[in-house]
Amino acid sequence: MTMGRDTEVAMAGAPEPDKAELSPAAVRARGNHLRGQSSLYLRQHDHNPVDWHPWGEAALRRAREESRPIFLSIGYSSCHWCHVMEKETFEDDGVAEALNQNFVSIKVDREERPDLDAAYLDAVQTLTGTGGWPLSVFLTPERLPFFGGTYFPRERFLDALRRIAGLWRQDPGRIRRQADALHGVLSAEVRLAPSRPLELDEIRDAAGAALSLLDEEWGGLRGRMKFPNVPLWQFLLDVHRATGEEALARAVRKTLDAMASGGIRDHLDGGFHRYSVDPAWVVPHFEKMLYDNALLARLYTLAAERFSDALYPAVARETLDFMIREMRVPPGCFLASIDADSGGVEGAYYLWNVEQIKEAAGPEDGEALAKALGVTERGHIDGQSVLTSRGSLPAGELLERHRSKLLAARSARVRPLSDRKVIAAWNGLAIAALAEGHRVFGERRWLDAAQEAADVLWEPHRLPDGRLLRIGHDGRAEQDGFLDDYAFLADGLLALHAAGGRAEALDRAVELLDRARTWFVQDGRAYLTAPGQEAPLGRREDLFDHAMPSGSAVLVRAMIEASRVAGRDDFFQDAQKVLDLHADIIRQAGLEMSWWLDAALLAIQSEGRLDPQGGR
């Protein structure tokens, strides 16, 4: 969409709003429509002078009746740049005035509505070539996107608001035509046709392609930022376990070693941050997500099972214990995330200078400990350092001697907020990680924690008709589940069964897979939403891995696993049909669909065409 500068803020073609009622001062006084929402992210914006609405029929009806475009803002509670835009842009009276008089403004928590997030993220990526959060999208009253971006500073956002409002006033039909054209692109399904099954050589070649992308110094995929990309590295580990390819083992180990020694790992209290903004894994975005920690704990556990290296069991144990200690909430599930910001400053809780280390550990040990933890006078961020284990001295014994003192000093700081909502899919990942930990290391407390989480999810999160609810707040569940809720929880329950959990774990997994197959799989496609669930841009498949593996691929893999342990040949047959339908796009996408490739590898193993060297 092209926006000219000769436009006005005023809007026509709609009933004149009550400007006094929608003034920033009035909205501040009465509060916007986010007050009382269960989502922490929405409540973080309930004091803004923007007249925010939650996504729902009331806001959408208002947009239609008043012929107003929608401004849709999507984010999550632990997102640093979401906080920045909230303070700089949405707290500004000028921005609020422009939004309140010309748009219906809607806030969405992406963790509660991954369907909306995926649809409108796809739109912004199509329009701009980039995406991320906060996600800022402008829609017609019919919910069709026509312009968007991510983080907008105040002045640039105000400029966009003025131009869009003026264009809507002058020619809303033109904008609607552009939105219809974009909708046609976004709603077009990828053409699929059944193809020959993926062969082992193709899977091995796909895994080998990662070697040409490997950062030989710091592991991970080459780039100015580094993301854990757990589905990729677990796929490479599984191919190594099945074929003995040592080059894949080397790539996995280099990546795991670098993450474990870098600042992306919290060396005091355990757990991993979201990703690093540098190639060496040193300076992270500091939020801690349940899904990252569950996936990484499972990966380090499987690496510990495969390789003789004391680092991997130590990191796996530390991460699992961190999850139980810091992320577990009554009545026994796991919270979503821990914020990046502390006292309004990103990373403030986790950063140190040399004097702070000396004050905690004493002047003599403190100087040596600072060197061991990579804390320097220059620092990484404004003279403050991120702790690593890459200093000029070994950190092991010295850190253990003073860990409690450093933790005590850190605990006196403002703690980051935690988003205590329970997400069924992410808890499925946590259950799987804890169950694997028990299976490999024999720690009963992890099996008990996994079993308790599974029991809790099976009660308030499951309705009598078998539907799964995605979100839990203080023991109350809401929001119909999506494909990944069923698939990830089924996978977790299968891991729990394999680790020696109670017998009903397998029965529950089979029930979830049966439901998912019925409600989400149609003609060999596994959709994110079930028929009847809201899908403004059409039902869509979750094909590609991101921070988490593709929900469709997790479902396929879980069906293959369940076919073996539950004697359900129909699961394997249906999973193979889905794999065969997607075989050509998997060949084309390669590592972007790592977990599909992993599912295809498991299918080959299950048919007896390959004897796995290891096993889950």
Task: State residue 616's pLDDT score.
Answer: 38
My answer on whether 280 and 395 are in the same domain is no
Ordered DSSP codes for 384-406: BB---S-SSS--HHHHHHHHHHH
Q: What is the CATH number of the domain that holds 252?
A: 1.50.10.10
pLDDT band at 608; cut points 50, 70, 90: confident
* 540, HSE (Cβ side, Cα atoms, 13 Å): 24
Site of tokens 């997102």: 79
Least confident of 7-21, 51-65, 94-108: 7-21
Q: Is residue 1 part of a domain?
A: no
Same domain, 140 and 276: no
Residue at 213 is within a domain: yes
DSSP 149: E
pLDDT, tens digit (0-9, with 9 covering 90-100), for 308-339: 999 999 999 999 999 999 999 998 999 999 99
- Inform me whether the pLDDT recorded for 525 exceeds 60: yes
Does one domain contain both 358 and 212? no
Amino acid identity at 333: C
> In the prediction, which pLDDT does 11 show?
34
* Residue 202: how many other CB atoms lie within 10 Å: 17
Q: What is the pLDDT of residue 189?
A: 84
Whether the predicted pLDDT of 613 surpasses 60: no
Same structural domain, 360 and 448: no
DSSP SS3 for 235: helix
Q: Which residues is 53 bridged to in the sheet?
A: 106
List the structure tokens of 493: 């329950």
The domain boundary, picked from 411, 427, 462, lies at: 411
Look at residue 595 and give its three-state secondary structure: helix
Work out the average pLDDT over 419-429. Answer: 98
Give the residue from 187, 218, 249 where a domain finishes.
187
Confidence of residue 6 (pLDDT cuts 50, 70, 90): very low
Task: Provide the domain count of the chain.
Answer: 3
Looking at the DSSP bridge assignments, the partners of residue 105 are: 52, 71
User: In this structure, is residue 3 part of a structural domain?
Assistant: no
CATH number (domain holding residue 61): 3.40.30.10
- What is the model's pLDDT at position 13? 38
pLDDT tier, 609 (very low <50, low <70, confident <90, very high otherwise):
low
Shared domain check, 261 and 371? no
What is residue 12's predicted lDDT score, i.e. its pLDDT? 34
Assess contact for 133 and 76: CB atoms under 8 A.
yes
Looking at the structure, do residues 426 and 404 belong to the same domain, yes or no? no
Q: Please tell me the number of Cα atoms within 13 Å of 336 on its side-chain side.
A: 26
Same domain, 430 and 570: yes
Angle at 164 between CA 159 and CA 166, to 5 degrees: 100
Pair 611, 200: CB distance under 8 Å: no
Whole-number pLDDT of residue 520? 98
357 and 244 belong to one structural domain: no
Tokens 């995929």: give the residue: 221
Place of tokens 């999810």: 457
- Residue 486 structure tokens: 């069923």
pLDDT digits (tens, 9 = 90+) for 212-246: 999 999 999 999 999 999 999 999 999 999 999 99
- Please check whether residue 87 is in contact with residue 501, taking contact to mean a CB–CB distance below 8 angstroms: no
Q: Given the structure tokens 């400029």, which residue do they identify?
A: 159
Sign of the torsion formed by the C-alpha atoms of 30, 31, 36 and 37? positive
Q: At 301, is the pLDDT very low, low, confident or very high (cuts 50, 70, 90)? A: very high
Residue ranges making up the domain that contains 401: 350-411
In a domain, 591, yes or no: yes
pLDDT in tens, 343-366: 999 999 999 999 999 999 999 899
In sequence order, what are the residues at sequence separation of 6 or more whose Cβ sits closer than 8 angstroms to the Cβ of residue 430? 290, 294, 323, 327, 334, 450, 453, 492
What is the tens place of the pLDDT at every residue in 114-139? 999 999 999 999 999 999 999 999 99
Structure tokens at 593: 């669909």
Give the model's pLDDT for residue 348. Answer: 97
Give the global pTM. 0.94
Residues 179 and 274 in one domain: no
- Which residue has 């004091």 as its token pair? 47
Percent of residues, the chain, with pLDDT higher than 70:
95
pLDDT at residue 444 tops 50 = yes
- Calculated CA dihedral for residues 68, 69, 74, 79, nearest 10 degrees: -90
Residue 334, strand partner residues: 328
What 3-state DSSP class applies to 474?
Answer: coil
3-state SS string for 76-145: CCCCHHHHHHHHHHHCCHHHHHHHHHHCEEEEEECCCCHHHHHHHHHHHHHHHCCCCCCEEEEECCCCCE
Mean pLDDT score, 83-94: 97
Question: What's the mean per-residue pLDDT of the chain?
Answer: 94
In angstroms, the CA 147 to CA 103 distance is: 14
Is there a single domain that holds both residue 230 and residue 333? yes
What is the model's pLDDT at position 92?
Answer: 97
Digit-coded pLDDT (tens) for 30-48 = 999 999 999 999 999 999 9
pLDDT reading at 385 higher than 90: yes
Residue 471 lies in a domain: yes
Other CB atoms within 10 Å distance of the CB of residue 532: 8
**Confidence band (pLDDT; 50, 70, 90) for 188?**
confident
What are 532-565's pLDDT values in tens digits?
999 999 999 999 999 999 999 999 999 999 999 9
- Cα separation, 133 vs 74, in Å, equals 7
- Name the DSSP class of 412: T
DSSP code, position 477: E
As beta bridge partners, residue 296 has: none
Closest CA to 99 of 127, 128, 59: 59
Residue 377 lies in a domain: yes
Based on the fold, state whether residues 338 and 360 are members of the same structural domain. Answer: no
Q: Give one DSSP letter per residue of 60-75, joined into a string.
A: HHHHHHHT-PEEEEEE
575 membership: H or E segment, kind and range = helix 569-589
The length of the chain, given as a count of residues: 616
User: At which of 187, 220, 237 does a domain end?
Assistant: 187
Phi, psi of 341 (to 5 degrees): -95, 150
Q: pLDDT tens-digit profile of 454-501?
A: 999 998 999 999 999 999 999 899 999 999 999 999 999 999 999 998
Average the pLDDT over 142-148 and give the result: 98
* Confidence at 172, pLDDT banded by 50, 70, 90: very high
* Residue at 15 is within a domain: no
Q: Are 453 and 332 in contact (CB under 8 A)?
A: yes
Cβ atoms of 453 and 505 within 8 Å: the answer is: no
Report in angstroms the alpha-carbon separations of 565 from 204, 395, 543, 559.
Answer: 26, 45, 26, 10
* Contact indicator for 135, 148 with CB cutoff of 8 Å: yes
What pLDDT band is residue 8 in, cutting at 50, 70 and 90? very low
Q: Are 429 and 548 within 8 A, CB to CB?
A: yes
In this structure, are 144 and 78 located in the same domain? Answer: yes
Which pLDDT tens digit goes with each residue over 433-442?
A: 999 999 999 9
Name the phi and psi angles at 54, rounded to 5: -75, 155
**Position 93, amino acid:** D
In the three-class reduction of DSSP (H, G, I as helix; E, B as strand; rest coil), residue 285 is classed as strand
Is 389 contained in some domain?
Answer: yes
Residue 207 CB partners (closer than 8 Å, separation 6+): 235, 236, 239, 245, 248, 597
Q: How far apart are the first and last CA of the chain?
A: 50
